[in-house]
A and B are shown apart, each in its own frame.
Chain A
Amino acid sequence: MTRPLLEITDLEVRYPSAGYIARLRGAPAHVTVLPDISLAIDTGQTVGLIGESGSGKTTLGRAAMGLAPITAGSVRVDDITVTSQDAPEWRQIRLRTAMMFQDAVASLDPRMTLGTSVTEPLAIQGAMNGRRRDRAVELLDLVGLTPDFADRYPHQISGGQARRVTVARALALEPSLVIADEPTAGLDLSVQGELLNLLNDLQARLGVSFLLITHNLAVARHVTDRIAIMYLGRIVEEATSEQIFRAPAHPYTRALIGAKDATGGEGLIAGDVPSLTDRPTGCEFRTRCPLATDLCAQKAPALETIGAGHVASCHYARPQEMPVATPDPLTDRSEI
């Protein structure tokens, strides 16, 4: 078995919280967003990172590029391993890894032309071959934008076009891994399809790996090879996309699928996501779990293998066959 392209091992991310005064009043000094997380991505693979807001999925994506404070564990890309946020090796990693931000327009400098923006990675890494404008036009062409976009500013283009520009910028250094945070957020359905097809197409042609961070399971089902489900900064289930949808093992996964597809599942999940500074004892999902028992309050379940390439952290984890995904969409609509 070959080594994965990206390997995140036992990573902990802790942010300093609260100012001096709040801390004197007893506020915690740190918020642990990711207590202990591991994830691997193979070359040419797309891994979906699914979770609700506050699940830490964006933080994990940022930590993988050294944009979050790493307090324990390691990140490895190819043969470069780093264990802290200020390691000089990030420069090497950033040569091979690119990031697409959730808000595409905001991730472009409002005072730079798009041509300057897409070629910025080349300028930063000193990899500009030929004239900057020519490279900009080439990159824009790669994502189906005409050369005149090079002279425009971010506020002059649509949301879908801004997405394409960020794809072009992500591909400038021909990275082996692209971390895409909610790449279709705010896009209309028809444009969403276009963007996902573009990413798939680029993956097929260039062999890029993708870490796709999203809350949209319907999208993830079509474009990912593997899916990791996150809750409160931990992975609660990970498997191939096919397994996740056919036989989800964790009650949270089942709820997410059920919640989105109206195909049954275990019904609705009550309540809200608990606070990161006030994590429940035992299993952290138990406060919302329909299956919770005393055992769940006492003992935190470990992430255990429950099938080939399928892990889940639940005392009662069992792959449960779901009714065939999205059959006739009209059958169940009176249920909720």
Chain B
Amino acid sequence: MIKKKMIFIVEDDPDICDLFKILLEDQGFKTTTFSDIKDFEKEIKLHKPDLMIMDVYVHGEDGASMTKNLKNRKETANIPIILVSAKNSLEKIAKESGADDFVSKPFEVNDLISIVRKHLQLH
């Protein structure tokens, strides 16, 4: 049996979090969701996912800084991170934080799926 790829979702809006979860699980991925960046920080020390979807603001915490931090750590530097936000300057934020890609809210679900698949090299 092929092991399912694990995706961590860091997103504080519960409905959008559900959307990511259902969407990605429908595609055969395993997901773990975090609405709090501190819970995510604890978990990432213990388990490494195959990809992360990170909101730029999670309950006032800065997902972009977290991305920068993860990209500077040897053990997480190679895990693809996709930044998501409704901010118009998302492209710039993504570039500065070192994220591998970005998806602007609102997004086309098929676009999100293909970006995720691209970074998991499933094309």
**Chain B binds chain A:** no
Q: Point out residues on A near B: beta carbons under 8 Å.
A: none
